Structure 1
Amino acid sequence: MRYRSSDEDSARWDGFPFREGDIIISTRSKSGTTWMQMICALLVFRSPDLPASLSELSPWVDWLIVPRDEVLARLEAQPHRRFIKTHTPLDGIPLDPRATYVVVARHPLDMAVSLFHHVDNLNRERMAELLGGPAPAAPSAPPRSIHDSLVTWINREVAPAEAMDSLPGVMWHLTDAWQRRHEPNVVLIHYADLVDDLNGEMRSLAAKLGIDVPEEQWPLLVDAAGFAQMRARAAQLAPDPVGILKDRNAFFHRGGSGAGRELLTDEEFTQYEKRAAQLAPNDLLAWLHR
């Protein structure tokens, strides 16, 4: 399936030249993409001292703002094991046996709250300039509160491919990955597990990727992957190679879990659960909402 938005096109994966050992990080927006990129960087280089910015080391193939030829040339020049970002579900990119596909799932309500803050931090004028389009018109109405935006997000009826960061889009992405979770080169990771046991999750991922890390290196790597350390290094780690963020430090907004539930009344949360049950299988929801 082809997925397109104003700044993404999954067709840029067509003919992608895979290498043995490639790591493809497939997530929805604000679901732990940058965190997983950092974890993979730490495992690949076995050091918190990265040789370049995270966006340069782990480019986003689908993103229309950076020319595809430039992205592929950068990846071709990398001598190390490659770890590559995409927001496309696995059914929209080539599934190559030489690659491992890492999908990170986050509670959809937390993802939606984080996305609200992220969108507010985007420089829309700069994005329009890079995409060659007109500057966005000034809003005709005052912005909705984060609570009202979240309720609207829960109830929005839209085709998944038309709005991948909608609730239907999130559940489509995760359901596809859930159905592939027993395949040998697909790894499904829960954001909450990274929060609760970062050391254990990093060790588990290293084993699945066949990466051997000396025992004495683990405390340093786990510390470097922590939220506080990543926020302190926002200038190097925030995904902003062409200056579309108003504030790179604001990209790392909170990092925990539970923010979405805190905003909703019991009735609104029940409505979310009903919508989720219409969009995803029960076993996935039990794992996702635990």
Structure 2
Amino acid sequence: MPTPVHRYRSDDEDSARWTGFPFRDGDIVISTRSKSGTTWMQMICALLVLGTPELPAPLTVLSPWLDWLGEPQATVYDRLAAQPHRRFIKTHTPLDGVPLDPRVHYVVVARHPLDMAVSLYHQAANLDRERLAELTGQPAPAGPPRQRPPLREWLVSWVDREVDPRSELDSLPGVLMHLNDAWARRHEPNVELVHYDDLLADLGGEMRRLADRWGIAVPAARWPELTEAATFGRMRERADRLAPDTLGVLRDRQAFFRRGGSGQGRDLLDEAARSRYQQRVAALAPPDLLGWLHR
């Protein structure tokens, strides 16, 4: 079994939990940065694999976050081992931290970093930090929550932050490190890149493309129903079953599906801040990746 090159660890997750995972032919690993379309891709996989919008269990149960420390590793392994259908597994780890097996398909979803950051800002307010600390064995937060700056101010500081991308994966350097690695692998036969905006523009077309890539046959009559079930509005209506919150980490499951659009991040920045963003990303990623990411 191949082993990952890099180990990624935080208070909430540890990519070493992938080491020794018993893959099966056709497994799908969904590798994304936070708030970049993870749950959306999990739902698309569920619909394609199971062939019905009526999921037999909550989405998080069907598609667990393997490297999350909130559940024992053995529990997650056992749940996946018991699944009779093709498996689709969530990770926020870049592909250089996950075992790469030729029998397995890997899909990386990319979103404009500024839009991802805006969603991340709102998501932070929706997390129950005490519950999260309890599940991951961390000390409970002490004192009142720290006051955050307004969104526009926070976004500018997020663009400017100089951090180690391997320890701050949701930073701008971390986002582009994740995507740089995937971009370099995009021609490999079992690696697929998906752009969040392509899902917005042509959800049905992207679902068909993925089904073809993964060898999943879907009867023509089923496509309208499956595509409708994967729309943002329909998923928001089913937040109790689809939000990644079986253990009570979110304060409001519907709020997890906040907007789902694109462009808000860019609109929040003035000309000087947008110029600074362009300078930063030009130093962090090659022009062809940035052209694809920002189109």
TM-score, normalised to structure 1, is 0.99
Question: Which deviations, in whole Å up to 9, do the C-alpha atoms of 1:143-194 show, x marking residues without a partner?
Answer: 2111111111100001111100000000000000000000000000000000
**239, 242, 256: which one pairs with 2:244?**
239
Q: CA deviation at 1:259?
A: 1.0
Q: CA deviation at 1:139?
A: 4.7
**Percent identity of equivalent pairs:** 66
Cα RMSD between the aligned structures?
0.8
Please, which of 166, 169, 174 is the counterpart of residue 171 of structure 2? 166
Aligned residue in 2 for 1:254:
259
Matched, 1:134 2:145: no
Instruction: Specify whether residues 12 and 140 from structure 1 end up closer, same or farther in structure 2 by C-alpha distance, changes over 3 A only.
Output: closer
Q: 1:120: which partner in 2?
A: 125
Match of 1:102 in 2: 107
Corresponding letter in the other structure for 1:105 = A
CA distance in 2 between partners of 1:65 and 1:141 (Å): 23
Cα drift, residue 142 of structure 1? 2.8
How far the C-alpha of 1:140 sits from its partner, in A, is 7.3
Code of the aligned partner of 1:55: T
The aligned residue for residue 229 of structure 2 is 224
TM-score of the aligned structures, taking structure 2 as reference length: 0.97
Q: Specify every segment of 5 or more residues in structure 1 that has no aligned partner in the other structure, as ranges.
A: none
CA distance, structure 2, for counterparts of residue 41 and residue 192 of structure 1: 20
Identify which of 79, 98, 103 aligns with 1:93: 98
Q: Secondary structure at the match of 1:103?
A: strand
Please give the residue correspondences for 1:262-273 in structure 2 after superposition, counting only pairs within 5 Å: 262-273=267-278
Residue identity matched to 2:173: P
How many residues are aligned here? 290
Q: 1:206 to 1:140 in 2, by over 3 A?
A: closer
Measured against aligned partners, the alpha-carbon deviations of 1:115-145 in whole angstroms (never above 9, x if no partner) come to 1111110000111112223221235753211
Structure 2: any 5+ residue segments left out of the alignment?
Answer: 1-5
Within 2, Cα distance between the matches of 1:76 and 1:288?
Answer: 36
Q: 1:56, 1:136 → 2: CA distance?
A: 27
Note the alpha carbon deviations across 1:246-289, whole angstroms, 9 max, x for none.
Answer: 00000001001001011110110110011000100110000000
1:98 Cα offset (Å): 0.7
Alignment of 1:208-219 (within 5 A): 208-219=213-224
- Say which SS state the counterpart of residue 234 (structure 2) adopts: helix
